[in-house]
Amino acid sequence: MADRIEAKAREEDIPVMDVPGLAESLYMVELGREIPEEFYGITAEILSFVYSLEDKR
């Protein structure tokens, strides 16, 4: 499923950040709960990536 989503995003020229295992790990976190501390670093990297995209617009 993830491969199909990524392929469609690339077809539509939507930026994709490949972080193996992150989505699966975060899927286990209940909605509305805090992200576990072990994901703080990668979350900061993702936010930086997103903000850099906004700066380019």
- The 10s digit of each residue's pLDDT in 1-29 is 778 988 999 999 888 888 877 878 888 88
Please, is 3 exposed, middle or buried when counting C-beta atoms within 10 Å of its C-beta (0-12, 13-18, 19+)? exposed
> Which tens digit of pLDDT belongs to each residue from 40-51?
998 898 889 889
Q: Percentage of residues in the chain with pLDDT exceeding 70?
A: 96
In this prediction, residue 24 carries a pLDDT of 80
Domain ranges of the chain: 17-56
